[in-house]
Amino acid sequence: MLSSSLKLAEKYDYLAEKFRAGYKWLAEHDINSMQDGKYEIIGKDVFADVQSYETEPAEKRKFEAHDLYFDIQYMASGCEMFGVCHREGLTLKEAPDGKDLKFFEDPECCSMVLLEEGDLIVVAPEEAHKPRCSAGKPAKVRKVVIKVRV
């Protein structure tokens, strides 16, 4: 699954070598048998962050965005609701020092995508996202976030 605007689809090559390396890594690894943590794919240009957590109600989660990396978020097991919206016009809430991470106030409107086992979504730096939201009730999730440098 790829959800984007035509403007961004024409700006970025979502099948460039770095993206293909991330997709290949996902296909070749049994995520559910791996330890949580970071795994290099192409040095600091492409790496994986394997995560285990329990989803929470959307109102407890924050919209976030990154300047230096795309996210390829892949659901290895479980399911979650995933908020997505354009970053432009959002109100900055917090920007932790030294991290490629910014948090924003919730927008008036956003798209919510249900991510189930085997699904992935690609989020560009121009998009904000709100991961880890419960789909009905809290659930245990096993996810990989592949970071792809712009």
**CATH classification of the domain holding 132:** 2.60.120.370
Distance of CA 98 to the CA centre of its chain: 19
In a domain, 142, yes or no: yes
Q: How many CB atoms lie within 10 A of CB 127?
A: 23
What CA–CA distance (Å, rounded) separates 140 from 9? Answer: 32
In a domain, 78, yes or no: yes
What is the total count of domains within the chain? 1
Q: Kindly tell me the sign of the dihedral angle through the C-alpha atoms of 136, 146, 117, 31.
A: negative
Report which of 38, 20, 101 is spatially closest to residue 67, judged by C-alpha positions: 101
Residue 109 lies in a domain: yes
Q: In this structure, is residue 66 part of a structural domain? A: yes
Domain extent, residue 91, equals 6-149
Mean residue pLDDT across the chain: 94
Tens of pLDDT, residue by residue over 65-105, are 999 999 999 999 999 999 999 999 999 999 999 999 999 99
pLDDT at res. 1 = 46
Output the pLDDT for position 20.
95
pLDDT attached to residue 2: 67
**Continuous segment of H or E residues that includes residue 25:** helix 17-28
Q: Which residue has the higher pLDDT, 3 or 24?
A: 24
Is 46 part of any domain? yes
- The length of the chain in residues reads 150
Whether residue 1 lies inside any domain: the answer is no
Supply the pTM of this predicted model: 0.92
Residue 103 lies in a domain: yes
The one-letter amino acid code at 20 reads R
C-beta neighbour count of 81 within 10 angstroms = 19
Q: How far is CA 122 from CA 3, 18, 57, 71, 96, in A?
A: 7, 13, 22, 6, 23
Check: CB of residue 66 under 8 Å from CB of residue 104: no
For residue 135, is it within any domain?
A: yes
